Copies of this chain bind each other. A is one copy, B any other.
Amino acid sequence: MSRFAPPGTAHDVEEGLAFTPKFDTDGLITAVVTDSKSGDVLMVAHMNAEALAKTIDSGEAWYFSRSRRRLWKKGESSGHVQRVIELRIDCDQDALWLKVEQQGAGACHTGRRSCFYRAVPLGQQGDVRLEFRDEERVFDPDAVYRAADKA
C-alpha cells in the first residue's frame, strides 16, 4: 500500500499542500536530478512509491530501475550516493526535482559527471550529428563497478 494519498481535484493538486504524487500506469514518477552547486542536470530517473518514501525518509536518493525492474539506492555499487538538498514537486504533481550533493566524482554510469554529455546542434538540415560537451570521464566505470561486484 502506498503511503501517499491519491490526487484530489485539479485545484487541490496545483494549489494545495497535500502531497499526492501522480504515478504513471507502471507505478512510476519522473525524477529530474540537478547538482545543487552548479545547477546542471545530472540525470533523469524514475521512482516508485517505495523509492520516493525511502528518499523522503533518508534524505538520500533511491530510484526504481526500469531495465532491472528493481529498487536501487544511487551509489549502492559505485559509492556515488546523492544527498538530497531539496526535493520539489511540479504543478500537476507528476514530476519531481531533486537538488543533490553528488558524492564521488560523477552521476553517470559511463564515468561522466552528468549523463548529458552530448549536445544536439540546432538548425541542422538532414541527419543530426551530436557534439560532445563535458565529455571527460571523472571516474573509471570499469574499475568502480568491478570493485563493487567484488565487494
Contacts and interface: CB of A to CB of B under 8 A. Distances in A.
Contacts of A44: 30, 32, 90, 95
A82 to B, nearest CB: 13
Contact of A14 (B30, B43, B110): B110
B88 A119 contact: yes
Interface in A52-92: 55-57, 59, 84, 86-92
B122 A84 contact: yes
Interface residues on A, range: 35 or more
Contact of A130 (B17, B43, B59): B17
A108 interface: yes
A118 B89 contact: yes
Given A19-B128, A56-B120, A97-B41, A133 B88 contact: yes
A115 interface: yes
A34 interface: yes
A89 B43 CA distance: 10
Contacts of A97: 41, 116
A125 to B, nearest CB: 8
Contacts of A124: 56
Please name the 4 residue pairs, one residue from A and one from B, whose CB atoms are nearest each other, closest first.
A39-B39, A44-B95, A90-B115, A88-B116
